[in-house]
């Protein structure tokens, strides 16, 4: 990974730890992705040559940085959605400082509504890192948008296994998908579209 990107990731991750430690309400925390999970996303993008990458849940852009660094290497781009305008403004500046502005488009909006607007089979990698319990209400779009050979990844598969379980059930019911959980960071539930 690019040294400048890694330095920015370290900086934002440390700032997030300081910030989150002072916040009693979970929703006020930045809850950025663990570095090892970020490296896993980076590995995924490079492995499947993901050019069309969609992220739901920008927050301060830590996962965005991992995805965009890999996207730059494969000629791809990241489209990142969040409902929090202030968080996205922060992430936009962070991504600019990391030299990755050309590889990311930020859009303010609900992830479910956004996925419903995306064409069938247009996405190579979909990363879900928003409110876990909302994902089933977004069906069928999280899988519909994936191309053949595309991957869906959802964070918190191990840290919040009960909340992620309904998503897992939907994925496991779909015969077009191969589904597993990777024990990295807080756990990544991944599904590959055959
Ligand atoms: C766990 S944080 C994302 C962390 C981020 N991926 C990172 O690594 O820095 C969750 C984010 O999801 C956003 N969010 C919650 N519900 C959403 C929705 N329905 N659509 C889009 N974003 C949503 C929140 O505003 C919050 O910024």
| Domain extent listing, the chain | 3-193
What would the mean pLDDT of 57-72 be, rounded to a whole number?
Answer: 98
CB of 20 shorter than 6 A to ligand 1: no
Residue 61 C-alpha to ligand 1 middle, in angstroms?
Answer: 10
Residue 56 C-alpha to ligand 1 middle, in angstroms?
Answer: 6
Q: SS3 of 187, please?
A: coil
- Of 23, 34, 59, the residue with max ligand 1 atoms within 8 A of its CB, to mutate for a pocket test, comes to 59
| pLDDT at residue number 72 | 98
DSSP assignment string, 69-115: HHHHHHT-EEEEEES-HHHHHHHHHHHHHTT-GGGEEEEES-HHHHH
Q: Which fold has domain 3-193?
A: Rossmann fold (3.40.50)
- 134: closest CA among 170, 172, 167? 167
For residues 33 and 149, give the distance between their C-alpha atoms in angstroms, rounded to a whole number. 24
**Shortest-distance Cα residue to atom 10 of ligand 1:** 130
| pLDDT at residue number 167 | 98
Return the DSSP state at 1: -
> How is residue 83 written in tokens?
């409902």
The model's pLDDT over 2-20, given as tens digits with 9 standing for 90+, comes to 999 999 999 999 999 999 9
| Contact status, residue 54 vs residue 123, Cβ threshold 8 Å | yes
Mean pLDDT of the chain: 97
């Amino acid at each position: 990974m690019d040294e400048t990107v890694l330095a920015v990731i370290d900086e934002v991750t440390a700032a997030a730890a300081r910030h989150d430690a002072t916040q009693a309400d979970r929703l006020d925390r930045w809850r950025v992705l663990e570095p090892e999970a970020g490296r896993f996303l980076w590995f995924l993008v490079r492995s499947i040559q993901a050019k069309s990458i969609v992220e739901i849940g920008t927050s301060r852009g830590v996962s965005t940085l991992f995805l965009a660094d890999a996207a730059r290497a494969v000629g791809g781009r990241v489209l990142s959605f969040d409902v929090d305008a202030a968080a996205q403004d922060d992430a936009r500046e962070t991504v600019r400082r990391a030299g990755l502005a050309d590889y990311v488009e930020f859009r303010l909006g609900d992830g479910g509504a956004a996925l419903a607007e995306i064409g069938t089979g247009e996405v190579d990698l979909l990363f879900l890192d928003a409110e876990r319990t909302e994902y089933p209400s977004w069906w069928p779009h999280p899988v519909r948008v994936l191309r053949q050979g595309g991957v869906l990844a959802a964070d918190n598969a191990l840290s919040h296994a009960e909340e992620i379980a309904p998503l897992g059930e939907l994925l496991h019911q779909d015969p077009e998908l191969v589904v597993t959980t990777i024990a990295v960071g807080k756990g990544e539930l991944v599904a590959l579209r055959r």
